[in-house]
Structure 1
Amino acid sequence: MMNGIRKVWEFYRKHGVRLLLLKLFRNYQSPGISYVEWRQIHGHTETEREAQRQYQFSNSALISIVVPVFHTPERFLREMLESVQLQTYSNWELCIADGSESNTVENIVRRYAVKDLRIKYRHLEKNLGIADNTNAALEMTKGEFIGFLDHDDVLDAGALFEVMKVIEKDSRTDMIYTDEDKVSTDLSEYFDPHFKPDYNKELLHWNNYICHFLVVKRSVIDRVGNISVKHEGAQDYDFILRCSETAENIVHIPRVLYHWRTHQASTAVNPQSKLFAYESGKRAIQEHLSRTNENAFVEHGVGYGFYNVSYQVQNQEMVDIFVLDNHKVSNPSRVKKCVKSIRKTNNYSNYNVHVVGDFNKICWDTVTSSYVVFIDSSLTSISEEWIESLLGCCQRNYVGAVGGKIYSANDTIYHAGIILGMNGYAFEGFPREKSGYFHRESLGQNLSAVTWQFMMAEKDVIGDIVQKAGGFPDDEVDLCREIAARGRAVIYNPNVEAKQIFRKRILKKDEIQNEKAVGVKKVEDPCYNQNLSLRSPGYYLQK
């Protein structure tokens, strides 16, 4: 009761009475099908499993699965063990390090190990904690690839087969992760699937979205070292961050191959069970950013295990802001409101504001600043210090453009990035006061594109695009593709917010094509997941 009251009060303090009332009383029905129905459509058949068992790999690498155990309940332990034994790929070893004081776990595991020599067991002299218990299991391994499995979770029968397919396809692969879901204590209900994007450097700064199932090549572990004891509780997050710094080819498998069991002691169902872990996670991110020469400040974000990263401005560089008034009817009052909001919502002093009819009216040869901002005259900026937020993010040497979050006048999300092939912007029409799919609307992330209605970009990159194309691109997706083609990332920063004065809709080329050609094969966006819908607002299951 008191916890609920506290949450309401905190929401009111942050967002005000209007959004609080909307949160309490606005109804929103999520589109799409249930996960139960989705599993019935997309689940593997026994025929497919048998085909996996019969498949002959050209190089059958040994995959070691490490499991630290500690007083694991018998049912959980047996189901974990049997989920490994049921793997359709057979060249594995299961390495179990047991920190339990009693012999209960040992007696169970040894009965399995006698019948299956691929199961290896070691009883530790004392419980070393999850980090060093895992390290003890790592010492037992002989495989070229190492997979990480929690003692109370289970693997999908095809997990190792799918991993091996990726390894066979590209020998450079040295870090692999899969989609996952949660499963009830008795394994009767599967729910809350996490369909992830391909490797997303920025998103990993804000959340350990990789999590399970993780497989890492031994050579990567040799370079980064074992699991860190000082990050106990978030040791997996720290390990993933360190591996990402040195891995050459990180591959995502867009299949649910790991089932995270929920029970009262697990963070899957009760995030408050390990509050210390979130502080450890924050520290792990901060240290990762320091190692990679990113000057940033990390704080806790929209929920447990989610963070907010603020990149610091390196120097007070000049910024040219172009207010785009390319509407059918010019409206000086609207332009005035937009410019007024720019001046009101930031303390940054080194900028100029220019009002132009369209992009091609900008004379790029006369722009002397290093960074430019495009903001449509239909918007008002509403977040404080938004220029600093954009600039700090954009000044990183691998970033080419940064876009913000835009709300409609009715307090729904208008833009939270662009998903290739989607018939609208990401989260378009989603209530502003609600939390979306794994908080993705509120997390910084790499995206294939962001709208040019509210964007900062490096001036030299834009100037080069304009010069070689003989003019400004006709489409905002084309602009972002050109930026990416020059080796620069496109970033979505949710800390930078604007709101529409009136609704203006820009239909993207991909969107036009998809509206006219129903059933045409869609472009797969590496920053999205092929199992999620391409109908806006997106991030829900489709058949």
Structure 2
Amino acid sequence: MKAINEKGADYLYCDESTFRSGDINKLLTMHFKPDYAIDNLRANNYICHFSVFARELLEGTELFRTQFDGSQDHDMILRLTDKAKKVVHVPRLLYYWRNHPGSVASGVEAKPYVVDAAKGAVADHLKRQGYTHFQITSTRAFETIFKIRYQIVGSPLISIIIANKDHEGDLRRCISSIEEKSTYENYEIIVVENNSSGKGIFDYYQELEKDEKVRVVTFKGDFNYSAVNNLGAKKARGEYLLLLNNDTQVITVNWMEELLMYAQREDVGAVGAKLYYGDKTIQHAGVVLGLGAHRTAGHSHYKQHRENLGYMGRLCYAQNVSAVTGACLLVKKSLFWQVGGLEEAFAVSLNDVDFCLKLRQEGYLNVFTPFAELYHFESISRGLDDAGEKARRYEKEAGQFREKWKGLLEAGDPYYNPNFSLDRSDFALKI
């Protein structure tokens, strides 16, 4: 009642748990959910149990539709949240679900028709939203956790912007992987040179002059990641900008398509990829506000192995997040400039998170997709921010960030859950 009266909710849901049949004290899972997130809900019925909603949301329709038996609740939730003005998540375990052999809680083998019903419910929802061409397939996490492939409209030019200082080997590896592996063909690469001194990198720039897809432009001045990328954006000819670190290497051949299918949506701002260290542990799988010692932002599932499914399968489907890393970030050029590009007051750190929050403030969704994969040999160019002057600079920028986004940080990340610890990136509960 508090959520209805104070927040004006017309649709509410809570967190839930499953327990072993016959003993409610033997919990099997505890599902602490994000707030309302449409891409999560399309990929899987994370809202599930239980829901409270205004009767008026049912006007002109029925609660359950027989053609979606087995996933009738997923269909119902999609229909009602489509119509709801205010969806509110109550982050408390208020529903306990008994796991027994005949229940879907124990696996879809109990009701094999569930998968087709769930795909049908999501397809029906997408059609209501105006999507006419898409594919829905099961993922490795679970048969009712889906990958949705949206049709790419046309073949827009993507401008890949790479900031660079020296490190010829890293840049060569990055560009070679783009050109040798990418199946998307309509792109240009803009290398923004900034204060290199080694002969090797300038010899490589001369090589790149022969590559019609690559241009090298020069940023004069001290290193400022935001300013360097803003210059690249000004020089870009493409309809889309892809910010990419020089210390990355393409893994997934259709990585640009996987990013573009989301960036083309009218409701989406920035789209980010799944990034790995050289040892195949996760460097980036979406950014969580307030995570980490500085209480600014941190990466979820950090250092987990590539094959891990993630918390409740979250490493296996595209989802809404507060922010994605600028190490690989795709956005419409028009949106990039609509929010003023990257904030140059954040010279090195948190400029990507700040940018994504500006998009969120304008009403756009930011999306992390695990289906675009790259290696990220993080901070090869300038080292890590964990000692000396670099640590002091980070703390200065962290302070600016905390002050600017104080309200959002205090409210908490809507795509995380207040029951999770902000000291760990593995979805551990607060102690």
For the pair 1:524 / 2:412, whether they are aligned, the reply is yes
Which of 360, 366, 375 is matched with 2:227 structurally? 360
Match of 2:15 in 1: 179
* Higher deviation after alignment, 273-282 or 532-541: 532-541
Match of 2:310 in 1: 436
For the pair 1:479 / 2:355, whether they are aligned, the reply is yes
For the pair 1:320 / 2:159, whether they are aligned, the reply is yes
Task: Give me the whole-angstrom Cα distance separating, in 2, the residues matched to 1:399 and 1:325.
Answer: 28
Match of 2:367 in 1: 491
Which of 500, 504, 507 is matched with 2:376 structurally? 500
Q: Is the 8 A contact 2:233 2:241 kept in 1?
A: no
Which one has the largest radius of gyration? 1
Structure 2 residue identity aligned to 1:355: V
Structure 1 residue identity aligned to 2:314: R
Structure having the higher helix fraction is 1
Match of 1:65 in 2: none
2:80 is paired with a residue whose SS is helix
Task: Give me the whole-angstrom Cα distance separating, in 1, the residues matched to 2:104 and 2:249.
Answer: 40
For the pair 1:539 / 2:411, whether they are aligned, the reply is no
Match of 2:250 in 1: 381
Match of 2:45 in 1: 208
Q: Is the 8 A contact 2:108 2:115 kept in 1?
A: no
Structure 1 residue identity aligned to 2:238: S
Task: Give me the whole-angstrom Cα distance separating, in 1, the residues matched to 2:268 and 2:378.
Answer: 31
Q: Tell me: CA distance 1:351–1:184, structure 2 relative to 1, closer, same or farther (3 Å).
A: same
Structure 1 residue identity aligned to 2:113: F
Deviation, structure 1 residue 245: 1.2
Match of 1:452 in 2: 326
**Structure 2: gaps (5+ residues):** 195-224, 293-297, 387-393, 403-408
Match of 2:127 in 1: 290
Deviation, structure 1 residue 224: 4.0
Q: Is the 8 A contact 1:402 1:457 kept in 2?
A: yes
For the pair 1:426 / 2:282, whether they are aligned, the reply is no
| 1:106-145, Cα deviation, whole Å (9 max, x unpaired) | xxxxxxxxxxxxxxxxxxxxxxxxxxxxxxxxxxxxxxxx
Match of 2:178 in 1: 342
> TM (normalized to structure 1)?
0.64
Which of 455, 461, 480 is matched with 2:335 structurally? 461
| 1:158-184, Cα deviation, whole Å (9 max, x unpaired) | xxxxxx22112133x111110000122
Task: Give me the whole-angstrom Cα distance separating, in 1, the residues matched to 2:341 and 2:279.
Answer: 39
Match of 1:194 in 2: 31
Structure 1 residue identity aligned to 2:150: Y
Q: Is the 8 A contact 1:421 1:510 kept in 2?
A: no
2:40 is paired with a residue whose SS is helix
Q: Tell me: CA distance 1:263–1:509, structure 2 relative to 1, closer, same or farther (3 Å).
A: farther
1:78-117 matches, within 5 Å, as none
Which of 252, 268, 291 is matched with 1:399 structurally? 268
| 1:299-328, Cα deviation, whole Å (9 max, x unpaired) | 1112132111112211111110012325xx
> TM (normalized to structure 2)?
0.80
Task: Give me the whole-angstrom Cα distance separating, in 2, the residues matched to 1:320 and 1:472.
Answer: 23
| 1:203-261, Cα deviation, whole Å (9 max, x unpaired) | 11111000001112110011443311001101111111111211111010000000000
Q: Tell me: CA distance 1:226–1:467, structure 2 relative to 1, closer, same or farther (3 Å).
A: closer
Q: Is the 8 A contact 1:408 1:503 kept in 2?
A: no
Q: Is the 8 A contact 2:342 2:352 kept in 1?
A: no
2:125 is paired with a residue whose SS is helix
Deviation, structure 1 residue 468: 9.7
Q: Tell me: CA distance 1:541–1:468, structure 2 relative to 1, closer, same or farther (3 Å).
A: closer
Q: Tell me: CA distance 1:244–1:506, structure 2 relative to 1, closer, same or farther (3 Å).
A: farther
Q: Is the 8 A contact 2:342 2:355 kept in 1?
A: no
Match of 1:412 in 2: 281
Structure 2 residue identity aligned to 1:195: F
Which of 53, 75, 88 is matched with 1:251 structurally? 88
Match of 2:137 in 1: 299
Q: Is the 8 A contact 1:180 1:212 kept in 2?
A: yes
Deviation, structure 1 residue 494: 0.9
Task: Give me the whole-angstrom Cα distance separating, in 1, the residues matched to 2:396 and 2:323.
Answer: 12
Task: Give me the whole-angstrom Cα distance separating, in 2, the residues matched to 1:221 and 1:510.
Answer: 52
Q: How many residues align?
A: 371
* Higher deviation after alignment, 186-195 or 387-396: 186-195
Q: Is the 8 A contact 1:421 1:534 kept in 2?
A: yes
Deviation, structure 1 residue 338: 0.4
Q: Tell me: CA distance 1:194–1:174, structure 2 relative to 1, closer, same or farther (3 Å).
A: same
Match of 2:240 in 1: 371
Task: Give me the whole-angstrom Cα distance separating, in 1, the residues matched to 2:347 and 2:62.
Answer: 46
Deviation, structure 1 residue 498: 0.6
- Which is bigger in relative contact order (C-alpha 8 A, separation at least 6)? 2
Structure 2 residue identity aligned to 1:301: T
Q: Is the 8 A contact 1:422 1:510 kept in 2?
A: no
Percent identity between the two aligned chains:
30
Q: Is the 8 A contact 2:19 2:28 kept in 1?
A: yes
Which of 158, 164, 168 is matched with 1:332 structurally? 168
1:17-32 matches, within 5 Å, as none
Aligned CA RMSD, in angstroms, stands at 2.5
| 1:477-499, Cα deviation, whole Å (9 max, x unpaired) | 11111111222211111111111
| 1:332-387, Cα deviation, whole Å (9 max, x unpaired) | 11101101111222221211011124442325444232111011111101012111
2:112 is paired with a residue whose SS is helix
Deviation, structure 1 residue 444: 1.0
1:113-132 matches, within 5 Å, as none
Task: Give me the whole-angstrom Cα distance separating, in 1, the residues matched to 2:360 and 2:395.
Answer: 18
Structure 2 residue identity aligned to 1:221: L
Q: Tell me: CA distance 1:409–1:468, structure 2 relative to 1, closer, same or farther (3 Å).
A: closer
Match of 1:38 in 2: none
1:457 is paired with a residue whose SS is strand
Structure 2 residue identity aligned to 1:411: K
| 1:416-456, Cα deviation, whole Å (9 max, x unpaired) | 01000112311111121222210112221111111000110
Task: Give me the whole-angstrom Cα distance separating, in 2, the residues matched to 1:418 and 1:192.
Answer: 24
Task: Give me the whole-angstrom Cα distance separating, in 2, the residues matched to 1:426 and 1:510.
Answer: 23
Q: Is the 8 A contact 1:360 1:471 kept in 2?
A: no
1:530 is paired with a residue whose SS is coil
Which of 248, 256, 260 is matched with 2:97 structurally? 260
Structure 1 residue identity aligned to 2:425: P
